[in-house]
Amino acid sequence: MAEMTRSNVRRTRWVRVALGLVALLGLTELGLRVAGLGEFPTYLKDDHFGYIPKPDQAGRFLDRNEWVFNDRSMGVATPWQASDRTDVLLLGNSIVLGGNAYNQPDKLAPLMQSKLSASCSVWPVAAGGWATVNEFRYLDRRTDVVAGADFFVWEYMAHQMGGLAKWSRPTLHPLERPLWLTGYVVGKALDQRFPTAARFEVKAPSDEAPYFAEFEAMLERLTQASGRRPAGLIFLYPDLNQLEMARAGKEWLPDRAEVQRVAARHGVVLIDLAAMPQWKPALYKDGVHPSIEGNAVLATILASEIRRLAHGC
């Protein structure tokens, strides 16, 4: 009898522990959802251009940072529509996207828009982790966007013409909202704690020529569609280490000569942030992405160039 009593006590203790763990997980799940950690954008996979935020979605990450994507997955609320105004395409990766860490008004495109006249509209096309190949492949599938663009601003970083950045895992680019948010948050934290090099750059193959040829073909289409020359500008964006290399007199962009050739051939203006005294090390948030202040400085630089080159802005 005593043995049965001890067995029942142990069983009761384990049941209580299990119920306690279930209650703890439930409270954690509820807390994460109430805090807004589940309010993030979801993505589409595509073999041609990799991945992109799903169209027609909006939210408030952490119940604080607003984000929005229109019907063409552009990071603005207004549906895409070519108009009588000067329509400016802004192309890039996480530098342009901004991501969950920024409130919508603090992202690059809205800041640029605030510094331009009402007759000029900025349409950002970007996704975190994109290479330049993803960007012109997106445009290849959006002929109406190419045809409607009057001017373009294209971000260019080192090691970005090596190939297509493909969708890898849901902790980086979730395809759906997770049913179990706690597991997703833990997985994402581990992913950030132990990142892989693939998150930050696309490894260059031995021959980048085919991708530069595609890039040139898209620049030609954009130039023909706009009917103006220059039809756009490319801004070279260094990370913090590359900026320090430039300030030490070293070359930070391995394929600079090829980018210069392509830009010159198509009448595209080329600006190098590393050569601009107003771009400083203190403007980085994490060694790669600009801080909110950095976004404001970058927006001022780009808006000034747009006003100079695109009449009516």
Average pLDDT of the chain is 88
What value, to the nearest 5°, has the Cα angle with vertex 58 and ends 201 and 40? 50
Partnered with residue 124 across adjacent β-strands are 90
d(CA 51, CA 44): 5
| β-bridge partners, 90 | 124, 153
Is pLDDT at 22 greater than 80 in this prediction?
A: no
CA nearest neighbour of 203 among 156, 166, 171: 166
pLDDT tens-digit readout, 276-293? 999 999 999 999 999 999
> β-strand 57-61 against 86-92: which pairing, if any?
unpaired
CB-CB contact of 103 with 65 (8 Å): yes
Angstrom CA distances, 83 to 55, 79, 122, 148, 149, stand at: 20, 12, 12, 8, 9
* Prediction pTM value: 0.88
Between 34-48, 74-88, 122-136, 150-164, the lowest mean confidence (pLDDT) is in 34-48
More confident residue, 196 or 96: 96
Do 92 and 140 form a contact (C-beta atoms < 8 A)? no
Cα-based distances in Å from 208 to 145, 160, 161, 190, 216: 26, 10, 6, 33, 12
pLDDT at 227: 73
CA distance 150 to 81: 12
**Rounded to the nearest 10 degrees, what angle do helices 256-265 and 209-226 cross at?**
30
Q: What is the pLDDT of residue 29?
A: 65
More confident residue, 182 or 299: 299
Give pLDDT tens digits for 166-217: 999 988 899 999 888 777 878 787 877 765 544 444 444 446 788 999 999 9
Strands, E assignment, the chain: 43-46, 50-53, 57-61, 65-69, 86-92, 120-126, 151-156, 232-236, 269-272
pLDDT of residue 27: 72
Q: What is the pLDDT of residues 215-274, one digit of tens each?
A: 999 999 999 877 776 789 999 999 999 999 999 999 999 999 999 999 999 999 999 999
In one letter, which amino acid is 210?
A: P
Looking at the predicted structure, is the pLDDT value of residue 154 above 70?
yes
